[in-house]
Amino acid sequence: MTEIAQLPVRITAERRAGLASSGLGVVVAALFALTLVCGQGCAPLPEVAAALLGRDVPGTSFLVQELRLPRALLSLVTGICFGLGGVAFQIMLRNPLASPDIIGISAGAGTAAVFAIVVLSLDGPIVSLVAVLSGLAVALAIWGLSSGRSAAGARLILVGIGISAMLDSVTSYMLLDAQAWDRAEAMRWLTGSVNGARLDQVWPVAAALVFFGGLLAGTARDLDILRLGDDTAAGLGVRPDFTRLRVTLAAVGLVAFATAAAGPIAFVAFLAGPIAARITKGRARLPSAAAMGAILVLGGDFAGQFLLPVRLPVGVVTGALGAPFLLCLIVRANRAGGNL
């Protein structure tokens, strides 16, 4: 009897979670379209569609193809990368504070990129490569410094926050000394921005999304089993260390490539997972966090361009959104432990 009575509850709960997940997808599509349509004055949707299809619409074609499409695409892929990379770390370390932007992996990628631009005078794909390798190196360093029996614990997060602060100060120092034109380019590494996005910035991130996102998707079930604890997971045929290695590699790859293209867009990796989990009641974590990441970047960029009295880069908007959330989480975590 009880089973019969409870069945409808389960179905509605699942349907609601399913609806919420697909709702996130719809919001992503809407924000993407909004970014294409709006600029200095809005172009009508049919004209935008025509321009996208390659037809020559006077005025609109240039705006859409050269300015807005790269911007929308870059926002979309970096948002997805940050969302996935963040939630993967949060699930793996069972702590919402453990996202790559809090524990210094984004900062590592950012500092290295600034170093490459300002000190080594590099540009283009090499900067991305340097950023990715440094992100990995920082991840390894945090791992090493916090190793011991409780690598998943608070120790890793504290070490990461310390490293993050150190790297941020290095970035600021290098920017103080930089040439004016380098500084403009390097400024994006402080907060993150999709201003002046170009299509050739989008492709490496998209490729990283396919490769590392695929790796993460292939590991998702093992990662889920790992939440039952290492021993139980091992009993179910999951190799805990190997799984953590794959997840770390995938998450660092995603975050570092996204950071290399758009800078460490503040708090997107950190916020996407927990917000998505709240909306979908904890189901379908990876896809909903990916969608939420895209929503934060697309929405934050739109707000920064049009909804606020001054034009701000997306990282400033998401940063303003994330800081109170971080505070709230730290206060709550002391009372009841994280829930991701």
Partner 1 sequence: MTDAVRLEAVDLCAGYEGRRILDGISLRFLPGRITSIVGGNASGKSTLLRTLARVLYPMDGRVLLDGRSIHATRSRDVARAVGLLPQSPTAPEGITVRDLVGRGRHPHRGIFTSWTARDTEVVANALNLTGMADLSEREIDTLSGGQRQRAWIAMALTQETDLLLLDEPTTFLDIAHQIDVLDLLVDLNRMRGTTIVMVLHDLNLAARYSDHLVAIADGEIHVEGTPRKVLTESHVRAVFGLESRIVTDPVSGGPTMIPIGRHHSGRAEKATGTHS
Binding residues vs partner 1 (CB under 8 A): 2-3, 6, 9-10, 218, 221, 224-225, 227-232, 234-239, 282, 339
Would you say 55 or 221 has its CB closer to partner 1? 221
Identify residue 223 by its one-letter amino acid code. Answer: L
3-class DSSP state for residue 197? coil
Would you say 129 or 233 has its CB closer to partner 1? 233
User: ∠ CA(70), CA(272), CA(88), 5° rounding?
Assistant: 100
Would you say 208 or 225 has its CB closer to partner 1? 225
* 209 alpha carbon, distance to own chain's centre: 11
CB of 10 to partner 1, least distance (A): 6
CB of 149 to partner 1, least distance (A): 9
CA dihedral sign, ordered 258, 264, 268, 271: positive
CB of 277 to partner 1, least distance (A): 10
Would you say 59 or 144 has its CB closer to partner 1? 144
CB of 252 to partner 1, least distance (A): 21
CB of 130 to partner 1, least distance (A): 33
Would you say 1 or 53 has its CB closer to partner 1? 1
3-class DSSP state for residue 134? helix
For residues 91 and 248, is the Cβ–Cβ distance under 8 A?
A: no
Q: Give the integer Cα–Cα distance in Å for 170 and 182.
A: 16
CB of 227 to partner 1, least distance (A): 4
Would you say 16 or 239 has its CB closer to partner 1? 239
Helix residue spans in the chain (DSSP H) = 2-37, 45-52, 60-62, 69-92, 105-114, 125-145, 154-176, 180-191, 199-226, 230-235, 240-262, 268-279, 285-302, 314-336
